[in-house]
Structure 1
């Protein structure tokens, strides 16, 4: 089983984010899981990969050639796939993974997380997606997402697909054991249980 990690290509302003990335990478490897990620050597991406590698884990990177040419590609991975586009990168990362963990990051990280969550909602896969809520980083986002349910733009059954934990161990345990619910997306249609 492999866990895909979406994360920032920078470290953020707090050392807590780097520490969380290291802890997540270690946890994935210590639980005998493989890591799939964006293939870079920089920021939280590099930290999570290095931590997993230091524990002897399998680490697979998927990186667009354009970024590899800018010398951000990690050179010590188990395997590094070079692809032609961001779209190809995301598709390959999803295909290689059994679940998705999201560390703090910017708009690219959020976009990746929302895309795989949408795929779960639409039934294109049944893989778990979870946020690692480092020092409350995702609290504001979670509040906003809850308001989507209140305003009937998101079903509660689909809101529950996006897990959230503050501990890497708890997040990985949930990602590897949670069954993703199947229900029609559209508001007003009967819930499937």
Structure 2
């Protein structure tokens, strides 16, 4: 049975205007660390990224960061991480995080977070991987993205199956159980992601 041992989290290098997002990032980091799993992330010590990584370490978890050379100063690479990979470019960063993770979770973030999210979804759509992907929809942050996916399908640019490329979770408590269950189901031959409308409420 496939197990969830490492989770890649995409999120903002800024904290955002809503303090609930910092709370959510820290709660997820605490859950990852307390469960003995590894956090795979973008390697920065600022914004939601930094809060997430610190909380994971404080709870006893291992953290693996990947950051490209040109962002080492902008995103303030956390040189104190137990595992920090400084890579030549964004493509290498995303590939390194992909290879290191069993599953993915997307917290609120900006254009960089969207770039990572769409790429990992597209890779799954193309059959390049079948790793679970969860969107943590705190405060309805991802509702516009979900509406866009619906519009893309309605206008004929994608099929209904696109909604099954990811799962939406509304609470941090639901993230790890949801992803672990999907991994286990996939290993047993039942790993078809649920429809987006069947939200994991925790």
The Cα shift of 1:60 comes to 0.3
Q: Cα gap change, 1:70/1:150 in structure 2, threshold over 3 Å: closer, same or farther?
A: closer
> Residue 25 of structure 2 corresponds to which residue in structure 1?
21
Q: What's the RMSD between the two structures over aligned residues?
A: 1.5
The answer to whether the Cα contact below 8 Å between 2:9 and 2:41 also exists between their aligned partners in 1 is yes
Of 148, 151, 155, 2:155 maps to 151
The Cα shift of 1:71 comes to 7.0
TM-score, reference length from structure 2: 0.85
Of 116, 121, 124, 1:120 maps to 124
> 4+ residue stretches of structure 1 with deviation over 4 A?
none
Unpaired runs of 5+ residues, structure 1, are: 183-193
> Residue 188 of structure 1 corresponds to which residue in structure 2?
none
> Residue 178 of structure 2 corresponds to which residue in structure 1?
174
User: Quick one: distance in 2 between partners of 1:21 and 1:154?
Assistant: 31
User: Quick one: distance in 2 between partners of 1:117 and 1:66?
Assistant: 25
User: Quick one: distance in 1 between partners of 2:120 and 2:45?
Assistant: 23
> Residue 107 of structure 1 corresponds to which residue in structure 2?
111
- Cα shift readout 1:57-77 (whole Å, capped 9, x = no counterpart): 010000112222457011232
Unpaired runs of 5+ residues, structure 2, are: 194-202
Q: Does 1:88 align with 2:104?
A: no
3-state secondary structure, aligned to 1:50 = helix
Q: Cα gap change, 1:71/1:118 in structure 2, threshold over 3 Å: closer, same or farther?
A: closer
Q: When the two structures are aligned, how many residues end up with a matched partner?
A: 182
Q: Cα gap change, 1:141/1:5 in structure 2, threshold over 3 Å: closer, same or farther?
A: same
TM-score, reference length from structure 1: 0.89
